[in-house]
Amino acid sequence: MKNIMFIAPPAAGKGTQAEWITEKYNIPHISTGDILRDIAKEDSEIGNYVAETMASGKLVKDEITYQLIEDRLSKDDCKNGFIIDGFPRNLEQAKEYDKILANLGYEVGNVILLNINEKTLEKRITGRRVCEDCRTIFNINDPAKAPQVDSVCDKCGGKLYQRQDDNLEAFQTRYAMYQEKTEPIIEHYRKQNVLHEVDANNTFDIVSKQVDEIISKN
């Protein structure tokens, strides 16, 4: 069973890494961000709350996130492993996540920390575009990752859009929050001997190779 968790600041490449891992190992990619963005599109009390919270760069209430995670991990397609990113974001959530896994009979697995500098992140996040249909990620600030046709997905022809929270102001809020609240979970998993560090400033191929070596050994 291959359970994989990414710890990284916004735009560090979690989604891009998860895409190829999903295809190679045939395990689902569970992104709390994608789940919440889908809910944010709903015209409901929770949908409006999530939309406003994410647009401001703040985090959704824990009790909502916990239920979403547990419901998703209990599905049959997670029995052989899964990738989770965007969660946990702080030490309290990490401890709760450990409990959820234990209740489901799962182990934590591999926790992969993507280290990357702030300036690189700013460039990535302001140029990021996502396909509305297949979720493929592009970046107009990187020629190697830019779409061949402006605003059109190379993979399925769907429309590309910029996420509400993919702006510099929201990024700075999220990055400061990451430093304050998310980084303490690194020590939590280091103590469990499940933490692996990767330099995400490198090219996609180099980062992917390092990540694959970690996964294949465990």
**In this structure, what CATH number is given to the domain that contains residue 41?**
3.40.50.300
CA distance 106 to 114: 23
The CA distances from residue 50 to 56, 160, 213, in Å, are 10, 21, 37
Q: Could you give the 3-state DSSP secondary structure of residue 132?
A: coil
Q: Within a domain: residue 11?
A: yes
User: Is the residue at 6 inside a domain?
Assistant: yes
The reported pLDDT for the residue numbered 128 is 92
pLDDT bin (cut points 50, 70, 90) of residue 188 is very high
Q: Is residue 149 part of a domain?
A: no
Whether 35 is in a domain gets the answer yes
Range of the domain at 8: 2-117+181-217
Active site residues: 14, 89, 128, 163, 174
Q: Which two tokens stand for residue 192?
A: 């469990």
What tokens were used for 113? 């920390």
Q: Is position 28 within any domain?
A: yes
CA atoms within 13 Å, Cβ hemisphere of 174: 28
Residue 162 maps to a domain: no
More confident residue, 198 or 38: 198
- What mean pLDDT is reported for the chain? 90
Please write the tens of the pLDDT for every residue from 40-94.
888 998 889 989 988 888 878 898 889 888 888 999 999 999 999 878 988 999 9
The type of residue at 201 is: N
Backbone angles phi, psi at 5, to 5 degrees: -125, 135
Task: Check residue 130 and give its pLDDT.
Answer: 94
> Does residue 203 have a pLDDT over 90?
no
User: How far apart are alpha carbons 83 and 181 in whole angstroms?
Assistant: 21
| pTM of the predicted protein model | 0.75
Taken in order 210, 212, 215, 218, is the CA torsion positive or negative?
A: negative
State how many domains the chain has. 1
Give per-residue pLDDT as tens, 169-180. 888 888 888 888
In this predicted structure, which of 2-6, 182-186, 198-202 has the lowest mean pLDDT?
182-186
Q: What is the pLDDT of residue 60?
A: 85
- Residue 148 included in any domain: no
The dihedral built from the CA positions of residue 20, 21, 26 and 32, taken in this order, carries a sign that is negative
pLDDT of residue 1 exceeding 80: no
Helices (H), the chain: 14-25, 32-40, 45-55, 62-73, 91-104, 118-127, 168-177, 184-190, 204-217
Beta strand pairing status for 137-139 and 128-131? Answer: antiparallel
Q: Does residue 206 belong to any structural domain of this protein?
A: yes
Q: Give yes or no for residue 194 having a pLDDT over 90.
A: yes
